[in-house]
Copies of this chain bind each other. A is one copy, B any other.
């Protein structure tokens, strides 16, 4: 049997570290997806029990962020990676921050669900919320998928879809504001749905950020703040 040199051993260990970072990030992504799903279920059914579960599970996601981010810092300090490896670690560190923020927004939606369970269902807004949530969930799934394959092309395609979510969000807000004027007694309940829509729109933004981190990782280009049309 061939003897593995120290260099090979170190590099093998380093690759294992990187793989571990990646799989942990994807596991955290899965947890966040579930949070979003549960928060929306709780909102639609004004289910305060499910909403409380979402608030409880958020702690676990916060913990994951700290663990992964700490592993990133340690890996940089120990392995002193350059170029692609460094970019990958930085991209992981940035992505888990965005995932944690998505968890925060899911938590906000859960809080609105609790509000609705206390004040009664909103007379409007559920169709819009479900529609936007579907778009956001698809974006999140596609972006995690692009992350798992480090696929910059897929990441760019996913980013482009965020525009539609913004348009849908704005039209839903307009509609609900008009409705509140017609039925002022519903304002407080409709506001719960409005804040939930806002949270969904933000989740779309964070998913877009993760796509940007993937492009940065793969291409070494920082494409934040570049207008989509000017990217190619």
- Judge whether A77 is part of the interface by a CB distance below 8 angstroms: yes
Contact of A181 among B70, B184, B222 (CB under 8 A): B184
> By DSSP majority rule, is chain A's interface helix, strand, loop, or mixed?
helix
A134 to B168, CA, bound (A): 34
A151 to B62, CA, bound (A): 25
A82 to B185, CA, bound (A): 60
A224 to B67, CA, bound (A): 11
Kindly identify, within residues 116 to 155 of chain A, every residue whose CB is under 8 Å from any CB belonging to chain B.
Answer: none
Q: Is the beta-carbon distance between A187 and B180 smaller than 8 angstroms? A: yes
- Judge whether A90 is part of the interface by a CB distance below 8 angstroms: yes
Q: Is the beta-carbon distance between B188 and A66 smaller than 8 angstroms? A: no
What per-residue 1/0 map shows which CB atoms of A142-174 lie under 8 Å from chain B? 000000000000000000000000000000000
Residues of B with C-beta under 8 A to A184: 180-182, 184, 187
Q: Is the beta-carbon distance between A188 and B198 smaller than 8 angstroms? A: no
Closest B residue to A220 by CB, please name it.
B73
- Closest chain B CB from A5 CB (angstroms): 22
- Judge whether A76 is part of the interface by a CB distance below 8 angstroms: yes
A227 to B181, CA, bound (A): 40
Number of copies: 2
Residues of B with C-beta under 8 A to A83: 77
- Closest chain B CB from A67 CB (angstroms): 10
- Judge whether A26 is part of the interface by a CB distance below 8 angstroms: no
A225 to B94, CA, bound (A): 17
Asked, given contacts A76-B76, A83-B77, whether A70 binds B222 with beta carbons under 8 Å apart, the answer is yes
A59 to B182, CA, bound (A): 39
A87 to B77, CA, bound (A): 10
- Judge whether A86 is part of the interface by a CB distance below 8 angstroms: yes
Q: Is the beta-carbon distance between A177 and B187 smaller than 8 angstroms? A: yes
Residues of B with C-beta under 8 A to A70: 222
Closest B residue to A198 by CB, please name it.
B198
Show 6 A/B contacts (Cβ-Cβ < 8 Å), sorted by A.
A66-B222, A76-B86, A77-B86, A94-B97, A180-B187, A181-B184
